[in-house]
Amino acid sequence: MIRFRWLLVFLWSGLASAQALSGAALVDELRKGSYVLYLRHTSTDFSQNDRGMRSYEDCSTQRNLSDKGRDEAREIARQLKRLRVARGPVLASPMCRTMETARLAFGKADASSDVRGGSASPDDPKRYEPLRRLLSREVPKKENRLIASHGNPFRAVAGPPHLAEGEIAVVRPRGDGFEIAARLRVEDWAVLPD
């Protein structure tokens, strides 16, 4: 059974309850477009870390995808194709694990610091405003905005619980805020009806 977790979503103007989608209704909506699919990178190798990171391009100093994570991203790609999910722009955090996840799951990736907290200082209370705007801004019909990023930025704008590695939040933009319409782990996609 698909595990959807319902939660209250923090909006700029306050808290609002999300209208949940599941099953055939979810697939139908994803084919029509106008959503944001926010994917936390797939499984990583926790024997690695980012402490010695020198640049986004140097993957040897970052925590990277594990073989399992690569397989998970490929599985997401297969399911999105099977379900004929509408696609649009693909943005990814410039970290190696998120760029690789996006390329494997979505077929391409444009690096964007906005999806990981912008260029603001970690102490800046407006650090996640660029991400909040991306999640709130309307998406044209017949396409979905695809984002591959990290758990912390999403939690900072949407609240708990954290997304698991490989989990996708289906976000309904509202212009002045957003709602979470569904949350899907890698294994949840396979049980959605064609």
- Say which residues have a Cβ less than 8 Å from residue 162's Cβ, sequence separation at least 6: 151, 152, 154, 155
- Place 2 in a pLDDT band, splitting at 50, 70 and 90: very low
- pLDDT exceeding 90 applies to what percent of the chain? 82
Between CA 174 and CA 1, with CA 73 as vertex, the angle to 5 degrees is 70
**What's the CA gap between 130 and 21, in Å, rounded?**
26
- Place 8 in a pLDDT band, splitting at 50, 70 and 90: very low
Comparing 3-7, 48-52, 95-99, 151-155, the range with the smallest average pLDDT is 3-7
Q: Is the peptide bond before 161 cis (omega within 30 degrees of 0)?
A: yes
The string of pLDDT tens digits covering residues 49-68 is 998 888 999 999 999 999 99
Taking residues 92-111, report their average pLDDT: 98
Taking residues 16-32, report their average pLDDT: 86
**Residue 153 has which token pair?**
């930025």
pTM to 2 decimal places: 0.89
**H-helix segments, 83-184:** 96-106, 129-136, 151-158
Taking residues 21-45, report their average pLDDT: 97
- Say which residues have a Cβ less than 8 Å from residue 187's Cβ, sequence separation at least 6: none
- Place 10 in a pLDDT band, splitting at 50, 70 and 90: very low
* Confidence (pLDDT) at 9: 33
**H-helix segments, the chain:** 23-32, 67-82, 96-106, 129-136, 151-158, 186-189
What does the chain come to in residues? Answer: 194
Residue boundaries of the structural domains of the chain: 20-45+62-189
Architecture of domain 20-45+62-189: 3-Layer(aba) Sandwich (3.40)
Pairing status of strand 145-149 against strand 36-40 = parallel
Burial 38-49 (b: 16+ CB within 10 A, else e): bbbbbbbeeebe
- pLDDT exceeding 70 applies to what percent of the chain? 89
Query: Do 190 and 79 meet the contact criterion of CB atoms below 8 Å apart?
Result: yes
